[in-house]
């Protein structure tokens, strides 16, 4: 056999070489976990044989989307308490629910549900951060999704880590368990935020990340309140606070980055720190609008994220593409800002770059890992199709019918191939009944 999987007759968006044009009647050939070749059908080598063939039928093939910021297990709290002031939402609903219900079993099933939702809506790689991340990593492995799984760190007792003195050690143990063990799983560390981790914890966490060569995640400058508190406590913005502690570099991914002044932006650009922007979450929780157009002009690499489900209330990265562009336009009253092509890039190649995976995923090119999705093009809301921009502004996750990760078909014609989704939903519904039953 020449190939393991051959997709024929598809409209392909390779997103390679900085281009965003479509190959109209194209093929994509996969061998093992990698893309072997792609191009117009007429260039498909005659007699090229494949173990399995998918008739693209004119449908769209594009790189799988990359969710650079998620707390997957929070699907359990989807819509549990909405439209509330942030502190009431956190202190009276989310934190108490987390304290009562977060355990390894909950993290496993609720992460599995999140992975199902993400695969269904076109995400093939997710950067996750939560407690009991070992259980999350197991869930990701069992669903076939690619993941950067980061064990959470805070300076107070947390699910699975009752004594905060052991929080960094717990991360190292997690890294030991997973590093180099599963081809699709990259372990990482998630120091929750500059206001929940002491300078010492942040520095010890970053030291561990450097020593073990893993990504370092942190929430940064999400709310105006956070910036005010940082100025009061440390005399500097949260971004400069991290800079002074030596936390910012190309392997640090800062989620949100809504409240940045010009100096903060310069520090991110100068250090090469990455941004994971979550427009839907920032809207729902009323955090604010991140300066994405400006950050991009400054050369900062930005990926998109959904954040945890309770802050959204879904995990559809197609929606985040649309929101990212539309929000910049309406905030600055300038329709030229963050065009659809840029939003698509943020959800794919730039997301890969943010996670340090751009050499492997994020675009369709020979030699890259075969992470791609097929979308049903023959639908009213994608007609006519003048170009790829509709993928950001008209498509949604439900248009994805097939998902391929690392060369393996994980969803085919909307059927999950590797695990029992019905069981997963039933397990989460059962947990949800406990959440709403009287204490």
| Closest residue by Cα to residue 23 from 42, 50, 6, 36 | 42
386-405: which residues touch its own copies (CB under 8 A)? 386-387, 389-390, 393-394, 396-399
Q: How many CB atoms lie within 10 A of CB 95?
A: 11
Specify whether the CB–CB gap between 346 and 67 falls below 8 A: no
Query: Which two structure tokens, joined as six digits, stand for 235?
Result: 């005399």
CA–CA dist 77, 132 (Å, integer): 16
4-33: which residues touch its own copies (CB under 8 A)? none
Interface pick for its own copies out of 36, 37, 101, 117 (rule CB under 8 A): 117
How far out from the chain centre does Cα 188 lie? 14
Query: Which two structure tokens, joined as six digits, stand for 255?
Result: 């989620």
Give the CA angle between residues 62, 66, 71 to the nearest 5°.
150
275-304: which residues touch its own copies (CB under 8 A)? 280, 282-289
Residue closer to its own copies (CB basis): 48 or 288: 288
Residue closer to its own copies (CB basis): 180 or 387: 387
Interface pick for its own copies out of 16, 41, 97, 432 (rule CB under 8 A): 432
Q: Does residue 97 belong to the site contacting its own copies (CB under 8 A)?
A: no
CA–CA dist 65, 364 (Å, integer): 12
Query: By rule CB under 8 A, what count of residues binds its own copies?
Result: 75
Interface pick for its own copies out of 436, 437, 438, 439 (rule CB under 8 A): 436
| Binding span for its own copies by CB under 8 A among 91-99, 355-363, 367-375, 424-432 | 424-432
CA–CA dist 48, 45 (Å, integer): 5
Tell me the C-alpha to C-alpha distance, in Å, between residue 334 and each of 325, 327, 337, 343.
Answer: 11, 10, 6, 16
CA–CA dist 133, 104 (Å, integer): 8
| Binding span for its own copies by CB under 8 A among 13-21, 42-50, 245-253, 423-431 | 423-431
| Binding span for its own copies by CB under 8 A among 7-15, 227-235, 296-304, 313-321 | 313-321
| Closest residue by Cα to residue 372 from 8, 2, 3, 13 | 13
220-279: which residues touch its own copies (CB under 8 A)? 224
| Binding span for its own copies by CB under 8 A among 42-50, 80-88, 179-187, 348-356 | 80-88
30-49: which residues touch its own copies (CB under 8 A)? none
Interface pick for its own copies out of 76, 317, 344, 372 (rule CB under 8 A): 76
> How near is the Cβ of 326 to its own copies at its closest, in Å?
4
Q: Does residue 72 belong to the site contacting its own copies (CB under 8 A)?
A: no
336-355: which residues touch its own copies (CB under 8 A)? 336-337, 339-340
> How near is the Cβ of 376 to its own copies at its closest, in Å?
10
CA dihedral sign of residues 224, 226, 230, 236: negative
| Binding span for its own copies by CB under 8 A among 45-53, 97-105, 375-383, 401-409 | 375-383
> How near is the Cβ of 55 to its own copies at its closest, in Å?
18
Tell me if residue 5 falls in helix, strand or coil: strand
Query: Which two structure tokens, joined as six digits, stand for 430?
Result: 């059962």
Tell me the C-alpha to C-alpha distance, in Å, between residue 153 and each of 20, 197, 205.
Answer: 39, 7, 8
């Amino acid at each position: 056999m020449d190939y393991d999987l051959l997709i024929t007759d598809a409209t392909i968006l390779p997103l390679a070489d900085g281009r965003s044009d479509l190959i109209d009647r194209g093929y994509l050939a996969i061998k093992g976990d990698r893309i072997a070749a792609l191009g117009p059908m007429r260039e498909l080598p005659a007699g090229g044989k494949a173990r399995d063939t998918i008739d693209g039928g004119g449908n769209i093939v594009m790189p799988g989307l990359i969710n650079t910021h998620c707390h997957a297990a929070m699907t359990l709290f989807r819509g549990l308490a909405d439209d509330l002031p942030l502190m009431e939402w956190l202190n009276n609903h989310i934190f108490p629910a987390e304290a009562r219900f977060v355990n390894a079993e909950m993290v496993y099933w609720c992460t599995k549900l999140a992975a199902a939702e993400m695969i269904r809506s076109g995400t093939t790689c997710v950067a996750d951060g939560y407690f009991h991340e070992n259980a999350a990593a197991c869930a990701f492995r069992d669903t076939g999704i690619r993941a950067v799984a980061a064990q959470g760190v805070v300076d107070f007792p947390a699910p699975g880590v009752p004594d905060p003195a052991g929080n960094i050690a717990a991360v190292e143990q997690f890294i030991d368990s997973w590093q180099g063990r599963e081809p699709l799983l990259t372990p990482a560390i998630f120091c929750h935020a500059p206001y929940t981790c002491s300078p010492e914890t942040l520095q010890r966490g970053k030291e561990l990340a450097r020593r073990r060569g893993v990504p370092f995640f942190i929430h940064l400058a999400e709310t105006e309140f956070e910036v005010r508190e940082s100025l009061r406590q440390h005399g500097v913005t949260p971004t400069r606070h991290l800079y002074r502690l030596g936390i910012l570099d190309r392997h640090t991914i800062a989620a949100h980055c809504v409240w940045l002044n010009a100096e903060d932006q310069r520090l991110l650009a100068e250090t090469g720190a990455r941004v994971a922007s979550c427009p839907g979450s920032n809207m729902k929780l009323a955090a604010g609008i991140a300066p994405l157009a400006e950050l991009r002009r400054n050369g900062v690499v930005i990926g998109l994220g959904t954040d945890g489900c309770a802050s959204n209330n879904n995990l559809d990265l197609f929606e985040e593409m649309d929101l990212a562009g539309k929000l910049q336009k309406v905030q600055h009253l300038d329709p030229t800002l963050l065009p659809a092509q840029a939003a698509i890039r943020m959800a794919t190649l730039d997301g890969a770059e943010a996670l340090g995976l751009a050499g492997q995923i994020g675009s369709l090119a020979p030699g890259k890992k075969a992470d791609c999705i097929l979308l049903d093009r023959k639908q009213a809301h994608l007609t006519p199709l003048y170009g790829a921009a509709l993928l950001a502004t008209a498509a949604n996750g439900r248009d994805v019918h097939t998902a391929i990760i690392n060369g393996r078909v994980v969803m085919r014609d909307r059927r999950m191939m590797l695990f029992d989704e019905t069981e997963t939903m039933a397990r989460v519904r059962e947990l949800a009944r406990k959440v709403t039953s009287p204490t």
